[in-house]
A = this chain, B = another copy of it.
Amino acid sequence: MLSFKQAYQEVEEFIAAADFSGNPAELYDPITYSMNLGGKRLRPALLLMAADIFEAEKPAALNAALGIEVFHNFTLVHDDIMDEAPLRRGKDTVYKKWNRDIAILSGDVMFVKAIDFFLKLHPAQQLADVLRVFNKTAAEVCDGQQMDMNFETQQEVSIADYIQMIELKTAVLLAAALKIGAMIGGASDEDANHIYEFGRFIGIAFQLQDDYLDAYANPDTFGKIVGGDIIANKKTYLLLEAFNLANTSQLAELNDCINGKFEDEEKVKRVKSIYNQLTIPELSKQKMKTYFDQGMASLAKVSLPQEKKQALVDIAEELMYRAV
């Protein structure tokens, strides 16, 4: 059984050995750069773990894992243009280090390269089945990004809208990674779908946790500024739930905060005070737990002995309770 740590290590080695170079260099250097910025390698490692428990051939699993990771990095390169984000993992984004046009076009090539990795699969029927899952997911990830951008100016965003957005933007790619790993291992359709649902539910839980940590992480260990989402008026689960539950005076203060009445530090303090009054942290943890438990229930339905699935349980729990 492959632990997350082992899977991560295998992904890192495969990426280090991969050659993304090409001509013109302006188009391929950003791919090498982007793929070597590091990161958790969550998606490809989960793919390898799912492949491992279904006893898939390693080279096929590694190629699919890299396809998923290259695709994920493509979305980051294009998202960073849209968000005008200067930094990614502490280093210049492609858009900043080169320029907008190179970020657009080298992103496009990354998408092509992602598909190249899937095209290494065989037999052809498996290649076709896997690409159908991948391609459906690719469209969903774009849909999620567009929803996220729409939310910035959209007046009314419901909790259901928000959950759908994070499902599309984040969760379905985790889910697809797990499913593709299982498919390469020859899992039944039922098992492949159960492991997909596991990924989808824990993906939603992880994103809810990200929202929570952005406001409530320990600032000494968080690695970025606590309250960044609050400062940016980001419509997270926390803020949307607060708007749902606030009384008239809390609503007025929330609106004052959003409309720029206070400096950043004071704004974070006031919004968190309202969150605390409304028990948003507890509601948030409950919500995470609901999705997490649904994920675990889906994993339990996968028709393999519990010990085979333990590494997936372990990493899900580790990620879920890392800082809560």
A residues adjacent to B (C-beta < 8 A)? 22-24, 26-27, 78, 81-82, 100-102, 104-105, 107-109, 111-113, 115-116, 119, 122-125, 127-128, 131-132, 135, 138-139, 142-143, 145-147, 149-150
Known: A24-B143, A27-B146, A149-B101. A128 touches B135 (CB 8 A): no
Contacts of A22 in B (CB 8 A): 143
- Measured in the bound complex, the distance between the Cα atoms of B108 and A116 in whole Å is 16
- Tell me the number of copies of this protein: 2
Interface of A is mostly: helix
Interface centre among A112, A125, A132, A143 (most CB of B within 10 A): A112
Instruction: Tell whether, in the assembled complex, residue A112 and residue B24 are in contact, meaning their CB atoms are under 8 Å apart.
Output: no
Instruction: Tell whether, in the assembled complex, residue B112 and residue A115 are in contact, meaning their CB atoms are under 8 Å apart.
Output: no
Which 10 pairs from chain A and chain B are nearest by CB? A124-B124, A124-B128, A124-B125, A82-B101, A27-B146, A112-B139, A24-B146, A112-B138, A109-B142, A127-B128
Contacts of A149 in B (CB 8 A): 26, 101, 105
Instruction: Tell whether, in the assembled complex, residue B104 and residue A139 are in contact, meaning their CB atoms are under 8 Å apart.
Output: no
Our pick among B101, B105, B116, B146 for the contact of A105 (Cβ within 8 Å) is B146
Contacts of A147 in B (CB 8 A): 24
A24: nearest residue on chain B (CB-CB)?
Answer: B146
Instruction: Tell whether, in the assembled complex, residue A104 and residue B104 are in contact, meaning their CB atoms are under 8 Å apart.
Output: yes
A116: nearest residue on chain B (CB-CB)?
Answer: B135
Instruction: Tell whether, in the assembled complex, residue B143 and residue A27 are in contact, meaning their CB atoms are under 8 Å apart.
Output: yes
Interface centre among A22, A108, A149 (most CB of B within 10 A): A108
Contacts of A101 in B (CB 8 A): 81-82, 149
Instruction: Tell whether, in the assembled complex, residue A142 and residue B26 are in contact, meaning their CB atoms are under 8 Å apart.
Output: no
Contacts of A112 in B (CB 8 A): 135, 138-139, 142
Instruction: Tell whether, in the assembled complex, residue B108 and residue A142 are in contact, meaning their CB atoms are under 8 Å apart.
Output: yes
Contacts of A124 in B (CB 8 A): 123-125, 127-128
A101: nearest residue on chain B (CB-CB)?
Answer: B82
Contacts of A143 in B (CB 8 A): 22-24, 27, 109
**Closest Cβ–Cβ distance, residue A96 to chain B (whole Å):** 16
